[in-house]
Amino acid sequence: MSLRIVVCVKYVPDATGDRHFADDLTVDRDDVDGLLSELDEYAVEQALQIAEEADDAEITVLTVGPEDAKDALRKALSMGADKAVHVEDDDLHGSDVMATSLVLAKAVEKTGYDLVICGMASTDGTMGVLPAILAERLGVPQVTLLSEVSVEDGLVKGRRDGDSASEQLEASLPAVVSVTDQSGEARYPSFKGIMAAKKKPVESLDLDDLDLDADEVGLEGSWTKVDSAAERPARTAGTIVKDEGEGGKQLAEFLASQKFI
């Protein structure tokens, strides 16, 4: 039977762009260009490698995001994924990680899966908790932060590198894993891949399709709320120590005053 892999990919605001908060203190996603979160490219790459090793596998890329999030799906399809699912609904606006994970869990269940692969964190929210919450919602094992991952005999196996040890972990399928940026360079889409992606199916789902009510998601269904936000203060000029014989002493005094030494 075919190995069904779902890769969760996030469309994030371009970090090099000028990002702002909207009046309701959510990130203004209309005001800035977006892209497939670079850390999720590693998740797509690992899915492609697992599929290449399997006799028969199908990769679905899944995103919860606004209309433009289709760009992230197209990029993943051009890398080689087979099909895409886009959950989009005006009522999703303001969904935090609890609401987003609920939507993803419903969409993963509807799609059907043996293995869900996530990135280690998104490049905008960077919470790194969504894979664990998703696994809990799905009621399946989670094996997070893997630098190496493979599937064999109904098990997902991988290596998690810590500061003092590397662990070899495994879990029975179905399962959720997340992979790190040490798992292997993500491939560039080829010209053939980019052309093929235009013809691959992208299914659009809304809250009704997932049997979710508006008050379970969005600002209302979220567990967290942003009370206030302020622009980061502009950078001030640094302290210049001129060496006229006492430079070393002045430098040491400065470092001591900042409690570095």
Ligand X SMILES: Cc1cc2nc3c(=O)[nH]c(=O)nc-3n(C[C@H](O)[C@H](O)[C@H](O)COP(=O)(O)OP(=O)(O)OC[C@H]3O[C@@H](n4cnc5c(N)ncnc54)[C@H](O)[C@@H]3O)c2cc1C
Which residues contribute to the site for ligand X (CB under 6 A)? Answer: 8-10, 26, 29, 37, 39-40, 43, 62-66, 92-97, 100, 104, 118-119, 121-122, 125-131, 224
Indicate the residue among 78 and 122 with the shorter CB distance to ligand X: 122
**In the complex, least distance from residue 238 CB atom to ligand X, rounded to whole angstroms:** 32
To the nearest whole angstrom, how small is the minimum distance from the Cβ of residue 163 to ligand X?
21
Q: Give the shortest CB-209-to-ligand X separation in angstroms.
A: 16
Minimum gap (Å) between residue 165 Cβ and ligand X = 24
Listed in sequence order, the residues at least 6 apart from 234 whose beta carbon sits closer than 8 Å to its beta carbon are none
127 or 195: whose CB is closer to ligand X?
127
Query: Contact at 8 Å (CB) between 159 and 179?
Result: no
Residue from 198, 212, 200, 224 nearest 89 by CA: 212
Q: Is 139 exposed, middle or buried (0-12, 13-18, 19+ CB in 10 A)?
A: exposed
Select 118 or 146, whichever has its Cβ closest to ligand X.
Answer: 118
CB-nearer residue toward ligand X: 77 or 130: 130
93 vs 157 by CB, closer to ligand X: 93
> Cβ of residue 186: shortest distance to ligand X, in angstroms?
13
To ligand X, the closest distance from the beta carbon of 39 in angstroms equals 5
- By beta-carbon proximity to ligand X, the closer residue of 118 and 151 is 118
Measured from the CB atom, the residue of 26 and 111 that comes closer to ligand X is 26
Scan for tokens 């590198």, then name that residue: 161
Select from 166, 103, 170 the least CA-distant residue to 142: 170
Q: What minimum distance in Å lies between the beta carbon of 3 and ligand X?
A: 19
